């Protein structure tokens, strides 16, 4: 018997991860925007202009998919995170329109650049807060959110907010190391080192804090035999960080970005280890929250065909715009 709910949990996790790393690097570029001046800003933005829209589509798949296959999660987690999610949506508006608007006005350009920076920063911070609030656990009674309106705001969620924004800055800066040359690349290189150190510290802080939020996490991470398995992840994090540091020192183009992706993949795996078999920690398991098999099967039939096709043409779109960004290019 195929476990549809488990497959879907995996697919949702995949699309959330795809969103985090893909929109992560273009949100990161937004966060770093004030560090660049004049022409460098144009180049930084042009390096993501053809792909940001596809990157953000994974967020829609995460949301829409959750409603389809885990409707009760969609119906409880979203109200629980009402304020940070609304703030994220509004922030995404400012940064999304900036891609076009900043080319349409000379006088107003600095305003839309500010919107691009502020929108990217707030969206990233809010996503981190949402993650932290979810890890902390939310109160669900009778298939509805039963907590208060400020439950999401805690020192822990603020920490995860800062951590995610820092991680996005790392992704963005290593992306620019890969895609650009000259002065812009030099700045990105420096930022990559700083944000890598910051991210390592913050991953450490979040990881040490998490087990004390919920006894399940403590058991998962510090009890035999799962400890053996979960002990591997921190070791790999350190290895990845070492690779990132070395490749930056060696002036490599692509390796730093791949190493940054590795750090995200490992952090994500760590979350998976903490969560499983829950989808909302302590409140709903994957099996409890799943939609009826009729819904899961119907969408899965399409997803197994369509997701590979999507990955192929997304890869094609990236391939079309491969290599370093030509500062003279762009239709504006």
Partner 1 sequence: MFEGFDALMLARAQFAFTVSFHIIFPAFSIGLASYLAVLEGLWLIRRDPVYMAIFDYWKKVFALSFGMGVVSGIVMSYQFGTNWAEFSDKAGPVIGPLMGYEVLTAFFLEAGFLGVMLFGLNRVGPKLHFTATVMVAVGTLISATWILAVNSWMQTPQGHVINEVGQFIPQDWWAIIFSPSFPYRLVHMVLAAYLTTAFVVGAVGAFHLLRKRGGRPARIMFSMAMWMAAIVAPIQIFAGDLHGLNTFEHQPAKVAAMEGHYETHEDGAPLILFGLPDDEAEETRFALEIPKLGSLILTHHLDGEVKGLKAFPKEDRPPAEIVFWSFRIMVGLGFLMLFIGAWSLFRRFGPGDLYSDKWLHRAAVLMGPSGFIAVLAGWVTTEVGRQPFTVYGLMRTAESASPIEAPAVGASLLAFVIVYFLVFGAGVFYMLRLMRKPPDTPDTEEDKVPTRAAGLTPAQAVEATSAGGNHG
Q: Which of 292, 283, 204, 196 is nearest to 246 (CA)?
A: 196
Please state the closest distance from residue 153 (CB atom) to partner 1, in A: 13
For residue 186, the tally of other CB atoms under 10 A from its CB is 12
- Subset of residues 253 to 282 that bind partner 1, contact rule: CB under 8 A: none
Of 1 and 294, CB closest to partner 1: 294
Q: How far is the CB of 304 from partner 1 (least distance, A)?
A: 11
Interface with partner 1 includes 327 (CB under 8 A)? no
Asked if 161 interacts with partner 1 (CB under 8 A), we say no
- What CA–CA distance (Å, rounded) separates 172 from 174? 6
| Distance in Å, CB of 94 to partner 1, minimum | 7
Site string for partner 1, 303-322 (x = CB under 8 A): x--xx--x--xx-xx--xx-
Question: Cβ(96)–Cβ(55) under 8 Å?
Answer: no
Q: Segment near partner 1 (CB under 8 A), from 166-174, 254-262, 272-280, 290-298?
A: 290-298
**Minimal CA–CA distance to 191: which of 179, 208, 175, 211?**
175
The closest alpha carbon to 112, from 97, 127, 122, 123, belongs to: 97
Least separation in angstroms between residue 204's CB and partner 1 is: 32
Closest CB 247 distance from partner 1, rounded Å = 28
Q: How far is the CB of 135 from partner 1 (least distance, A)?
A: 19
Contact between 100 and partner 1 by CB under 8 A: the answer reads yes
> Residue 178 contacts by C-beta under 8 Å, 6 or more apart in sequence?
253, 254, 256, 257
Distances (CA, A) of 271 to 119, 171, 267, 280: 26, 19, 6, 12
174 within 8 A of 159, measured Cβ to Cβ: no
Per-residue x/- marks for partner 1, 51-90, CB under 8 A? x-xx-xx-xxx-xxxxxxx-xx-xxxxxx--xx-xx--xx
Backbone angles phi, psi at 130, to 5 degrees: -60, -45
For partner 1, the closer CB: 69 or 192: 69
- Six-digit token string for 76: 């409880």
Ranges within 32-51 binding partner 1 (CB under 8 A): 49-51
The answer to the question of residue 328 lying near partner 1 (CB under 8 A) is yes
Q: What count of residues does the chain have?
A: 332
Q: Is 143 in the site for partner 1 (CB under 8 A)?
A: yes
Of the residues 7, 14, 35, 103, which one makes contact with partner 1 according to CB under 8 A: 103
The one among 17, 99, 168, 275 contacting partner 1 by CB under 8 A = 99
Distance CA 169, CA 215 (A): 32
CB 50 to partner 1: min, Å: 3
Q: Kindly report each contact of residues 53-57 with a partner whose C-beta sits within 8 Å and lies 24 or more positions away, as own/partner.
A: 54/22, 54/314, 54/317, 55/19, 55/22, 55/23, 55/26, 56/19, 56/23, 56/92, 56/96
Q: How many residues bind partner 1 (CB under 8 A)?
A: 70
Neighbours of 54 (CB within 10 A): 15
The residue ranges that bind partner 1 (CB under 8 A) are: 49-51, 53-54, 56-57, 59-61, 63-69, 71-72, 74-79, 82-83, 85-86, 89-90, 92-94, 96-97, 99-101, 103-105, 108, 143-146, 149, 291-292, 294-295, 298-299, 302-303, 306-307, 310, 313-314, 316-317, 320-321, 328-332
């Amino acid at each position: 018997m195929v476990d549809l709910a488990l497959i879907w949990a995996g697919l949702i996790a995949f699309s959330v991860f795809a969103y985090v790393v893909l929109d992560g690097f273009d949100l990161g570029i937004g966060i770093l925007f004030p560090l660049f001046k004049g022409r460098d800003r144009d180049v930084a933005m042009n390096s993501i202009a053809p792909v940001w829209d596809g990157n953000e589509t994974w967020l829609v798949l995460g949301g829409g998919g959750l409603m389809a296959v885990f409707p009760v999660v969609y119906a409880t987690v979203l109200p629980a995170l009402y304020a940070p999610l609304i703030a994220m949506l509004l922030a995404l508006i400012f940064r999304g329109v900036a891609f076009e608007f900043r080319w349409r006005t000379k006088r107003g350009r600095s305003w839309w650049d500010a919107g691009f920076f502020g929108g990217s920063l707030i969206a990233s911070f809010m996503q981190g807060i949402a993650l932290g609030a979810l890890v902390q656990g939310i109160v669900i009674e009778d298939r509805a959110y039963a907590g208060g309106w400020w439950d999401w705001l805690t020192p822990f969620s603020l920490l995860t907010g800062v951590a995610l924004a820092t991680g996005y800055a790392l992704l963005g800066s290593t992306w620019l190391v890969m895609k650009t040359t000259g002065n812009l690349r030099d700045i990105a290189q420096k930022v990559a080192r700083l944000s890598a150190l910051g991210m390592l510290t913050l991953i450490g802080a979040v990881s040490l804090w998490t087990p004390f939020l919920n006894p399940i996490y403590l058991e998962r991470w510090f009890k035999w035999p799962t400890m053996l398995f979960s002990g591997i992840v921190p070791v790999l994090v350190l290895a990845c960080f070492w690779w990132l540091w070395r490749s930056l020192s060696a002036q490599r183009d692509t390796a730093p970005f791949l190493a940054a992706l590795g750090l995200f993949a490992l952090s994500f795996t760590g979350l998976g280890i903490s969560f499983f078999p829950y989808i909302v920690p302590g409140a709903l398991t994957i099996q409890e929250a799943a939609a009826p098999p009729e819904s899961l099967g119907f969408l899965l039939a399409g997803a197994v065909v369509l997701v590979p096709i999507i990955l192929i043409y997304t890869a094609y779109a990236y391939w079309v715009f491969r290599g370093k960004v030509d500062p003279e290019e762009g239709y504006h």
